[in-house]
Amino acid sequence: MRLVNVQTKKPLVEFIGEKTLIHNKFLEEEMKMMGIPIPDGLRGLFQGRDYVHLHEEKFQEAFKEVYYMTYMDPRLFKWEEL
């Protein structure tokens, strides 16, 4: 699965099995250092964690269910199957 910029058709993020490729260096560093903040009401789905970082077990789920839905404009970025 990959997240593609609708205008440029370039992938921003790709999930290949359990591997995550982030094609934007700023976003990649943000996900490594800060992670995805998990809202109180969803922490039960993420083992009670406040944040999920790149390379952690639930990162792909957190990116799709929290980060994409909260911080990204679905008119500009769409999910595609590989």
* Average of per-residue pLDDT across 49-64: 97
- Work out the mean pLDDT of the chain and round it to a whole number: 97
State residue 82's pLDDT score. 86
Amino acid sitting at position 24:
N
Give tens-digit pLDDT for 14-30.
Answer: 999 999 999 999 999 99
Name the nearest CA neighbour of 51 among 68, 33, 64, 69. 33
Read off the pTM: 0.93
State residue 22's pLDDT score. 98
By residue range, what is the domain housing residue 53? 2-80
Number of domains in the chain: 1
CA-based angle 14:36:73, to the nearest 5? 65
Q: pLDDT-based confidence at 6, cuts 50/70/90? A: very high
